[in-house]
Amino acid sequence: MTVAFWTLPLLLIFLWLSFRVIRHRRSARVALGSGGNARLERAIRAHANFAEYVPFSVLLLVLAELGGAWPLLLHGLGALLVVARLSHGIGIAKDPEDFRFRVLGMMGTFSVMGIAAVAAFVGAVIRN
């Protein structure tokens, strides 16, 4: 399964974002929420944004793969998703924030989602 290859790098990014939240929670001594701490809030949102977009993106990639999308396309989209999410995470982690990385990250993520959705749709139409 081609898409499965990209789950490990995505997991590593998710863990990096998770550990950032834990580190900031410990240093700010905040168990729940952000406690008004801007750095913690930034870490929470970076983690949450990943959790909001990546599962749906991977689902679309899996549906595209099941629909018969070319492995090269799927690898390209998987690589783009990894680079995009890393870019977004780096951009939001910087203080002050670097919007260029965030914008590139979201553009890449939306591109993956759109292309994978079209590939999944085409696969569904052709196979049915």
**Which contacts of 36-39 are long-range, i.e. CB under 8 A and separated by 24 or more positions?**
39/95
pLDDT in tens, 38-68: 888 999 999 999 999 999 999 999 999 999 9
Q: What is the pTM assigned to this prediction?
A: 0.92
CATH class of 3-127: mainly alpha
pLDDT in tens, 80-110: 999 999 999 999 888 787 889 999 999 999 9
Cα separation values, 126 from 41, 61, 63, 119, Å: 45, 17, 13, 10
